[in-house]
A = this chain, B = another copy of it.
Amino acid sequence: MVQNMAARRADMADRLGRSAFELFAREGLEGANLDEIAAHAGVTKGSLYWHYGSRQELVLAACNHYYRRWQRQVHAVLAPLTDPMARLRRALDFSVRSCVADPANRRFTTGLFALMQSDAAVRSSWFQFYDTVREFYLGLVAAAKAAGVFPPGDARPRVDLMLEAMEGLKLRAAFEPHIADPDEQAAVAAGLLEVVVGRPGSHTVQYGGKPAASRRGAKGGGA
């Protein structure tokens, strides 16, 4: 019974964190207030301030919810795949789609980046998440390398560059919505793959029979 109480307590705290994330993602970090967050979780502000001491704590809880959701989603997306290069492609496709075709994701993360500039707690929270994402992609690249793909040089700056481009892509998707078109998404994902593992043909690659329907490969400039 005592663990039942503890479970109910943790459950409500989690519900409040999820509610905060959903409303922050829908109305922005500055747009959603604590009353509607509590109402969206089925309680009132009294309960909210019982579980969280301040608004900032709730923001960090929403961040943790976002991080865990990302890990669950990317794990679910990669679960049925075993080929390292296919897993890398799929991960990039998923990330690109999340960035360009999910306005809620954009609203939440852009609000976080704005808050991050003057909030050290949010900064370090996001930094830990970014580090896990980077290590995740480094693992994918290492697996691809072990499977016969040989990207030149060190993988870490390439993954960093790819992740920077991914975040910049998320920003650009806000004012150039045409990059959410499926073919544009594929082209962008191909470009990011190229950033990570190098240009196809410039070194030994083995990945899939898919001829990469990217217009980037048109190469009509010289010939």
A contact set with B: CB distance below 8 Å: 27-31, 103, 106-107, 110-111, 113-114, 116-118, 123-124, 126-127, 130, 150, 152-154, 157, 160-161, 163-169, 171-172, 174-176, 187, 191, 195, 199, 202, 216-222
Complex-state Cα separation, A172 to B31, whole angstroms: 24
Shortest CB-to-CB span from A101 to chain B, Å, is 14
Which of the residues B113, B175, B222 comes within 8 Å of A110, measured between beta carbons?
B113
Complex-state Cα separation, A127 to B199, whole angstroms: 30
* Interface residue SS majority, chain A: helix
Complex-state Cα separation, A117 to B26, whole angstroms: 10
Are the C-beta atoms of B216 and A114 separated by less than 8 Å? Answer: no
Q: For the complex formed by this chain, how many copies does it contain in all?
A: 2
Shortest CB-to-CB span from A216 to chain B, Å, is 6
Are the C-beta atoms of B154 and A218 separated by less than 8 Å? Answer: yes
Shortest CB-to-CB span from A126 to chain B, Å, is 6
Shortest CB-to-CB span from A192 to chain B, Å, is 8
28 contacts between A and B (CB under 8 A): A28-B118, A30-B114, A107-B114, A107-B118, A110-B113, A110-B114, A113-B114, A113-B171, A113-B174, A114-B114, A152-B219, A153-B218, A154-B218, A154-B221, A157-B187, A157-B191, A157-B216, A160-B172, A161-B165, A161-B195, A164-B165, A164-B171, A165-B165, A167-B167, A167-B168, A167-B172, A168-B169, A199-B202
Are the C-beta atoms of B153 and A216 separated by less than 8 Å? Answer: yes
Complex-state Cα separation, A160 to B195, whole angstroms: 13
With A107-B114, A107-B118, A113-B174 known, 15 other A-B pairs at CB within 8 A are: A107-B117, A110-B113, A110-B116, A111-B114, A116-B174, A126-B175, A127-B175, A152-B221, A153-B219, A157-B187, A163-B172, A164-B164, A164-B165, A165-B165, A168-B169
